[in-house]
Amino acid sequence: MNKHHTPGIRRHCRRNYDIRLMLLFFLLAGVPFAAQAHRGAVDEIDACNIRVGLERVHFTAYTPALSGNREYCKAIPQLGETHLVFDYEGKQLRNFSVEFEVTKEPEGTRIFYQEPQKIKTGTATGMVDFRQHGAGNYLAHIAIVDKDKRLDTHIPFSVGIEDADRKSFSPLLATTLGLLLAVYAMIRFVLMKEKSREVPKA
């Protein structure tokens, strides 16, 4: 091979390598956002899920007048009319009488109650105007009621005291920036290493 062509070939290979690194860089940069967007796999921990006996119920809150069809569960940012939705993820609960309740904490004051009944559709709904009860911490209770037996579980949430968007975005931003810096450092290291290996021109 002609020695005069060697530097050009080396530069061409290095450009191709740099392009592959940059593609990897942009691919990895999108990973945190993709992971944040999905609800999660079956075995993944979901903060909006409540285990009731052997079944699970998914709790969702909507504030249509304030945020359209945006979903909340752990932190509802604004006070207003809030639609509460309890979705059965299995079919067994449809055969039992289930009671739904929301209490304000730490007082334990009941602000919403739906008496025990069988929900054949697998979806129970209710509406609470949190302007009447104020900002604070709340508990959504779900209880299976069978004669004199009762199995109660609950999920905590807040209303009007946390910005759900800002709270979830901060760790996402930190993770993304950290990943970008790490990949940038890796690219710099590889380029410097390749440069040091180049044979000086005669």
Domain that holds residue 57: 45-162
Judge whether 89 and 58 are in contact, CB under 8 Å.
yes
What is the spatial distance between Cα 119 and Cα 88, in angstroms, rounded to a whole number? 9
What is the spatial distance between Cα 107 and Cα 81, in angstroms, rounded to a whole number? 21
pTM over 0.75: no
At 31 the pLDDT is 45
At 201 the pLDDT is 53
pLDDT tens for each residue of 112-133? 999 999 999 999 999 999 999 9
> Structure tokens of 162?
């946390």
The CATH number of whichever domain residue 92 belongs to comes to 2.60.40.2550
62 and 158 in a single domain? The answer is: yes
| 3-state secondary structure at position 103 | strand
146 and 103 in a single domain? The answer is: yes
What are the average pLDDT values for consecutive 10-residue runs of the chain, which has 202 residues? 51 54 52 38 59 90 94 94 95 93 96 95 96 96 87 92 54 66 73 66 52
Q: What is the DSSP letter of 156?
A: E
139 and 152 in a single domain? The answer is: yes
Judge whether 25 and 188 are in contact, CB under 8 Å.
no
At 185 the pLDDT is 72
- Which residue matches tokens 């810096």? 181
At 33 the pLDDT is 41
Please give the order of strands across the beta sheet that includes 136-146: 75-76, 149-159, 136-146, 97-105, 109-118
25 and 122 in a single domain? The answer is: no
What is the spatial distance between Cα 140 and Cα 132, in angstroms, rounded to a whole number? 17
| 3-state secondary structure at position 150 | strand
Total domains in the fold of the chain: 2
